[in-house]
Amino acid sequence: MADGISGASGTGRGYLAETGLRSWAFSLDHKRIGVMYLYTTMFFFLVGGLFAELLRLKLMTPGPGFVSDKTYNVFFTLHGALMIFLFIIPAIPSALGNFFIPMMVGAHDVAFPRLNLAGYWIFLAGIVVVIASLVRPMDTGWTFYTPYSAKSGAAVTLLSFGLFLVGMSSILTGLNFIITIHTQRAPGMTWSRMPLFIWGMYATSVIQVLATPVIGMTFILLAAERLFGVGFFDPAKGGDPLLFQHFFWFYSHPVVYVMILPAMGIISEIIPVFSRKPIFGYKAIAYSSMAIALAGFLVWGHHMFVSGMSSVAAVIFSLLTFSVAVPTGVKVFNWIATLYRGSISFESPMLYALMFIFLFIIGGLTGPFLGSLGTNVQLHDTYFVVAHFHYTMMGGTVMGWLAGLHYWFPKMTGRMLSEKLARRAAVLILIGFNVTFFTMFILGYKGMPRRWAEYPVQYQTMHIIATVGSWVLAAGIIVMVWNFTRSLYRGEAAPGNPWGALTLEWQTASPPPVENFEVIPTVTEWPYSFGRKGAGDA
């Protein structure tokens, strides 16, 4: 983009120059706050992953195993709750969003740096409370369905208070991003010149601000029920257990778009850069993010087709659900079309981006099985659902997150990753992932219910295959973490713009100086002007 601000070389320590705990804990620099979020969420990704491996280990045998059924239930609850609330929801928005939104719109910082830091501390306080709740560990599943969660002897109130704080941090961050995107854009950066990651983050922030209060209220109602015996959800007191499910999914369905839209934004950045082609259908991608964000509020009932909800409601929710499928498909077509007649190179960010598309297609195509009423009745609450959401959440969001980490690692650290290690990790992850989770489609189709510690013996072979797959997957993750760790100290110095990208964050040093840009750049073009205009357009 605008000439004259081409990348400086990465010699200095930039924003990393200052050291010491205080320089981090009280920093108002959005980059440092982003890095703190990154470490925190990555930690919970690894802990959540550890629980996943324990679950898979138990499921090698159909009967009672090396952990009791009760412990198994605690493990899947912790696996789910940590992965959802402490990893996947904040991972891309709070970490990469914090680091890169100001840089990509050409600003010195977010609109409210103090609020940003407060958000991180609230997040941390939430985590402390969540950890405190382990005194009587939760076994309700991450969905907290009443009446079980209202009766359970576990520290449900404490945990939901912790998650309440985490949600509050999420609202503050979202609010900050919306205002930053509205008010801090560099001169010349019109809405139609904004990078697609910013569009994705904008849509995400809108959902966070609108939906998160609902889960907060739900947690308050649940706490009132447990502490004071108010019977919102208790049929014996005139309450309704299904009401809880409606509240819960009114938040938790839109939130799946909080998980996926930022990842889609990252993919929309990486594909053009590594294909040397303008993104295909910019407007369609940008607007479909907004369309998905808004339509996503109207489909929560598709989690409840067999819950006892009325059949009429089920039909309406099914129809609305399919209306969200189309804009999602459009994005996939656009990414693939971007590759057409490109000059494609396969460095690690692109590898993960292609893995994202490959796996997300499978996740997406298995959605209609669950959205369609006839088949939902068969597949709901089986391993088919487990497979479907892992293909979209892990195959989608986590791959997008990894693509982003590999893409921006040089910018954040000033060092390059080892491409050799990155490729090895990617291959292991791709194989391990598919062996683990494709198997679960079959298990689910054959009737294996989810959240089962023990199971009839006819499912064992499939379970063993899935467990072995999870070891390969874990090996891939270990190689990747090793790559991050060693490159942090021994990676070769990164130039300002190693990938030849056109977005603003690359038009400054790696790592960036504290103020991001010495002079705020003036934007004259969108960031996807790759290729020669008029050169043999199709």
Give exposure, 180-197, as e/b (b: 16+ Cβ within 10 Å).
bbeebbbeebeeebbbbb
Q: How many CA atoms lie within 13 A of 500 on its CB side?
A: 14
Number of residues that bind other proteins (CB under 8 A): 96
| Residue 301, both tokens | 């009932």
Min CB(369)–other proteins separation in Å? 5
Mark the segment that binds other proteins (CB under 8 A) among 14-22, 89-97, 274-282, 507-515: 274-282
Task: Identify the residue among 6, 458, 485, 524 touching other proteins (CB under 8 A).
Answer: 458
Mark the segment that binds other proteins (CB under 8 A) among 28-36, 201-209, 369-377, 396-404: 369-377
Tracing tokens 């259908």 back to the chain, one arrives at 281
Q: Which residue, 56 or 380, has its beta carbon nearer to other proteins? A: 380
Collapsing DSSP states into helix, strand and coil, what is residue 493?
strand
Min CB(422)–other proteins separation in Å? 17
Mark the segment that binds other proteins (CB under 8 A) among 92-100, 380-388, 402-410, 471-479: 380-388
Min CB(430)–other proteins separation in Å? 13
Task: Identify the residue among 61, 157, 375, 460 touching other proteins (CB under 8 A).
Answer: 375
> Taking CB under 8 A as the rule, does residue 378 contact other proteins?
yes
CA 267 – CA 409 distance, rounded (Å): 15
> Taking CB under 8 A as the rule, does residue 25 contact other proteins?
no
Mark the segment that binds other proteins (CB under 8 A) among 181-189, 207-215, 370-378, 474-482: 370-378
Q: Which residue, 15 or 244, has its beta carbon nearer to other proteins? A: 244
Query: Are the C-beta atoms of 509 and 14 separated by less than 8 Å?
Result: yes
Q: How far is CA 210 from CA 2, 123, 251, 494, in A?
A: 36, 18, 9, 39
Build a one-symbol-per-residue string for 291-310: x at contacts with other proteins by CB under 8 A, - elsewhere.
Answer: ---------------xxx--
Build a one-symbol-per-residue string for 307-326: x at contacts with other proteins by CB under 8 A, - elsewhere.
Answer: xx--x--xx--xx--x--xx
Cβ neighbours around 230 below 10 Å, total: 15
Task: Identify the residue among 39, 377, 493, 524 touching other proteins (CB under 8 A).
Answer: 377
End-to-end alpha-carbon separation of the chain, Å? 24
Q: How far is CA 134 from CA 112, 139, 148, 150, in A?
A: 34, 11, 18, 17
Query: Are the C-beta atoms of 90 and 170 separated by less than 8 Å?
Result: yes
> Taking CB under 8 A as the rule, does residue 192 contact other proteins?
no
CA 288 – CA 161 distance, rounded (Å): 34
CA 291 – CA 299 distance, rounded (Å): 13
Residues 6 or more apart whose Cβ sits within 8 Å of residue 408: 96, 99, 100, 505
Min CB(193)–other proteins separation in Å? 13
Q: Which residue, 35 or 83, has its beta carbon nearer to other proteins? A: 83
Residues 6 or more apart whose Cβ sits within 8 Å of residue 273: 499, 500, 501, 502, 530
Min CB(90)–other proteins separation in Å? 25
Q: Which residue, 229 or 235, has its beta carbon nearer to other proteins? A: 235
Collapsing DSSP states into helix, strand and coil, what is residue 55?
helix
Scan residues 338-367 and list those touching other proteins (CB under 8 A).
Answer: 339-346, 354, 357-358, 361-362, 365-366
> Taking CB under 8 A as the rule, does residue 190 contact other proteins?
no
Task: Identify the residue among 17, 131, 191, 368 touching other proteins (CB under 8 A).
Answer: 368
Scan residues 122-141 and list those touching other proteins (CB under 8 A).
Answer: 139-141
> Taking CB under 8 A as the rule, does residue 229 contact other proteins?
no
Q: How far is CA 242 from CA 125, 232, 318, 353, in A?
A: 31, 10, 18, 39
| Residue 375, both tokens | 């088949």
Query: Are the C-beta atoms of 102 and 180 separated by less than 8 Å?
Result: yes
> Taking CB under 8 A as the rule, does residue 336 contact other proteins?
yes
Scan residues 425-454 and list those touching other proteins (CB under 8 A).
Answer: 445-447, 449-454
Q: Which residue, 126 or 495, has its beta carbon nearer to other proteins? A: 495
Q: Which residue, 20 or 536, has its beta carbon nearer to other proteins? A: 536
Q: Which residue, 27 or 376, has its beta carbon nearer to other proteins? A: 376
CA 266 – CA 285 distance, rounded (Å): 12
Task: Identify the residue among 21, 192, 283, 519 touching other proteins (CB under 8 A).
Answer: 283
> Taking CB under 8 A as the rule, does residue 533 contact other proteins?
yes
Min CB(238)–other proteins separation in Å? 8
